[in-house]
Amino acid sequence: MRLRALLDTDALGLRLLGGEDELDRTVRGVMTTDLRDPSRYLSGGELVLTGLAWRRGAADSEPFVRLLAGAGVTALAAGEAELGAVPEDLIVACARHRLPLFAVNESVAFATITEHVVRQVSGERAGDLAAVVDRHRRMMTSGPAGGGPDVVLDLLGSDLDLGAWVLSSTGRLIAGPGATGPALPAELCARLAAEHLAAARTGRRGPHRVAAGSTTYSLFPISSTGRGPGPTGGAGDVRRTVLSDWLLAVEADAGDWPAERLDLLYGVTQLIAVERDRRDAARTVRRRLAQEVLELVQAGAAPAEIAARLRVAAPVLLPGLGAAPHWQIVVARVEWDGGEVDSGPAAQSLLEEILVDPLATGPEPSDRIAVAHTGEEAIALVPLPAVSTEHDGSESGIHADTLLAAVRGPLTAGLDDDGRLTLGVSAAVHSAEGLRGALEEARHARRVAAARAGRVCAAGHQELASHVLLLPFVPDDVRRAFTARLLDPLRDYDRRHRAELIPTLEAFLDCDGSWTRCATRLHLHVNTLRYRVGRIEQLTSRDLSRLEDKLDFFLALRMS
């Protein structure tokens, strides 16, 4: 904005004391100071407001004004509340350095001037940036030369001083304000995604505001380019899209933003949605390959035919591999209460997103993911460059116990109280003959996960040869009766005497009945441990030296 516009604004109460020929200067910011040397905090183009507390005598005006002029300040405004009329020595110094000088009436607060300048400058920047964003949108829609979302986020940072990040529904950081911009901690990304999903499930129009410590973030939904901003078309539509849409997190409180700035940010989300749709379209070939391979497997095709299709798929999923990879299968299902929503596509998008981090090996780790969906089920065909045996005997690759660790919070919020996500993970196989068994293994593991409590659950192939496979299918009344008979006497005794018999029993079984290791873990003398175990045996009429009784206690603790 121009100095002339400030002088013409009656509500600001500014009176020009010098610099009439300089009124076409541009104001790019505002700063209030009473420091004798504020130059280190100036970047040029500011209107400086001062109450003159730095001035002890006439000799102080010249060096103060010289510093402002050297820093490229646009103008100086001196308040009359402290000293009355602006001193003549300050007027002379400003004239010497060609620095426009205003007097601020004592009835006008500096905050009023600051708010007016910031609002005007910000509005002009938003208008300029809107034109840039529009040009960038045209480049993005005509081809890949636009530079992706990072370029737009850099524009928001440089032109509007807004930190902004693009996140997936699981809290994965997709784009940020360049290498020099601030990074968001993974925990904060997960929380913002969870807050966004919870708010979106209510159907409320964004942006949604979230306070994280002393910082407020505004969350804008990034929907498919086929849908505009704001609420979607109903509960079913929300369920289908909320788990796969991206979001734009802006480090600012948009609650009092003018309509122009909100429109600009929604334009940015539509621009980023173009890139999202482009990435989604790039997965089409991989999805088709997975669909073809799985159709052959389920139809009982000859291993040679399946192997031939895998040889076609391997170079697409793992370019330059040079040898046939091992394969792993992950099965996912999203279920909603009522069952009226077609959740196959949602499960497919979610599975593609969830598998990005475990497979991250480069700038586009999603290139390794091939996911098909049949009905309500999504099936991922995952190539592994090599399968080695770890020190504990387990195979490398995707593990069910870590697959959902980083995304459980956001997805639980998105599923709210009427949806579930369950996943099953197979062992790795090295040939076409093993794919059919791997698919069945992953499906069985998913059913084990579905029998557990919780909105987001996963199970792996290791659990199919363990008691863990059986426990979820024990009827609830049988579970309650079995655990009550063994554990209720111990719980009652602990409640009355604070004896910690239950924790002692858990530690004793976990240490395989070793008195020394268990005593060390519990920080007890061995004799104290023997007394507690004896009390357990007395209360339950069981013998913890017998394998059968140890097994009964172990199962009771697992089912409780």
Q: How far is CA 456 from the centre of its chain?
A: 17
β-strand pairing of 326-336 with 246-250: unpaired
Q: Are residues 160 and 265 in the same domain?
A: yes
Angstrom distance (rounded) from CA 454 to CA 415? 11
The three-state secondary structure class of 436 is helix
79-125: pLDDT as tens digits: 887 778 899 999 999 999 999 999 998 888 888 888 888 777 665 55
Q: Does 82 fall in a domain?
A: yes
Which segment of 2-6, 163-167, 531-535 scores lowest on mean pLDDT?
2-6
Residue 340 has pLDDT above 80, yes or no: no
Q: Does 121 fall in a domain?
A: no
What region does 477 belong to: left with phi over 0, alpha with psi -120 to 50, or beta?
alpha
pLDDT mean across residues, the chain: 79
Angstrom distance (rounded) from CA 360 to CA 89? 66
Q: Does 124 fall in a domain?
A: no
Distances (CA, A) of 257 to 157, 223, 229, 260, 485: 17, 22, 17, 8, 63
| pTM for this entry | 0.58
The reported pLDDT for the residue numbered 274 is 76
Residue 214 has pLDDT above 50, yes or no: yes
Q: How confident is the model at residue 324 (pLDDT cuts 50, 70, 90)?
A: low
Q: Are residues 444 and 485 in the same domain?
A: no
Residue 136 has pLDDT above 90, yes or no: no
Provide DSSP, 49-108.
Answer: EE-STT-SSGGGHHHHHHHHHHTT--EEEEESTTTSSPPHHHHHHHHHTT--EEEE-TTS
- How many structural domains compose the chain? 4
Q: Are residues 487 and 464 in the same domain?
A: no
Q: What is the mean pLDDT of residues 511-530?
A: 91
The amino acid sitting at 230 is: G
Q: Which of 222, 256, 282 is the last residue of a domain?
A: 282
Q: How far is CA 543 from the centre of its chain?
A: 51
Q: What is the mean pLDDT of residues 511-526?
A: 90
The rounded percent of the chain whose pLDDT value lies above 70 is 81
Residue 146 has pLDDT above 70, yes or no: no
Q: Does 118 fall in a domain?
A: no
Q: Are residues 368 and 454 in the same domain?
A: yes
Tokens 């095709």 correspond to what residue? 301
Q: Are residues 173 and 317 in the same domain?
A: no
The three-state secondary structure class of 494 is helix
Q: Which of 87, 108, 129 is the last residue of a domain?
A: 108
CA-nearest of 278, 317, 312, 279 to 293 is 312
Q: Does 175 fall in a domain?
A: yes
The reported pLDDT for the residue numbered 138 is 46
Q: Are residues 416 and 481 in the same domain?
A: no
CATH number at residue 482: 1.10.10.2840
344-378: pLDDT as tens digits: 788 888 888 888 755 444 334 445 678 888 878 89
Q: Which of 56, 88, 108 is the last residue of a domain?
A: 108
Angstrom distance (rounded) from CA 315 to CA 317? 6
> Residues 431, 308: contact at Cβ < 8 Å?
no
Q: How confident is the model at residue 322 (pLDDT cuts 50, 70, 90)?
A: very low
11-48: pLDDT as tens digits: 888 999 999 888 888 888 888 888 889 888 888 888 99
The reported pLDDT for the residue numbered 540 is 93
Higher-confidence residue of 337 and 525: namely 525
User: Which residues make Cβ contacts (< 8 Å) with residue 77, sequence separation at least 6?
Assistant: 14, 47, 48, 49, 50, 101, 102, 103, 104, 113
Which segment of 46-55, 256-265, 353-362, 530-539 scores lowest on mean pLDDT?
353-362
Residue 325 has pLDDT above 70, yes or no: no
Q: Does 131 fall in a domain?
A: no
- Of 29-33, 99-103, 133-137, 545-549, where does the model show the most confidence? 99-103
Residue 493 has pLDDT above 90, yes or no: yes
Q: Are residues 225 and 290 in the same domain?
A: no
Q: Does 169 fall in a domain?
A: yes
CATH number at residue 372: 3.30.70
Q: Is the peptide bond before 345 cis (omega within 30 degrees of 0)?
A: no
The reported pLDDT for the residue numbered 523 is 92
Residue 213 has pLDDT above 50, yes or no: yes
Q: Are residues 335 and 425 in the same domain?
A: yes
Residue 336 has pLDDT above 80, yes or no: no
Q: Are residues 296 and 352 in the same domain?
A: yes
The reported pLDDT for the residue numbered 434 is 83
CATH number at residue 191: 3.30.450.30
The reported pLDDT for the residue numbered 181 is 57
Residue 556 has pLDDT above 50, yes or no: yes
Which segment of 156-160, 211-215, 352-356, 462-466 scores lowest on mean pLDDT?
462-466
- Of 69-73, 305-309, 388-392, 410-414, where does the model show the most confidence? 69-73
Q: Are residues 253 and 316 in the same domain?
A: no
401-452: pLDDT as tens digits: 778 877 787 887 777 667 788 999 988 888 778 888 888 888 888 888 887 8
Q: What is the mean pLDDT of residues 461-477?
A: 66
Q: Does 116 fall in a domain?
A: no
Angstrom distance (rounded) from CA 96 to CA 494? 87
Count, in order, helices (H) and strands (E) of the chain: 20, 15
Domain housing 233: 145-282
Q: Are residues 399 and 295 in the same domain?
A: yes
Q: Are residues 318 and 233 in the same domain?
A: no
Angstrom distance (rounded) from CA 11 to CA 17? 18
The reported pLDDT for the residue numbered 452 is 80
Angstrom distance (rounded) from CA 314 to CA 230? 41
- Of 85-94, 159-168, 235-244, 307-316, where does the model show the most confidence? 85-94
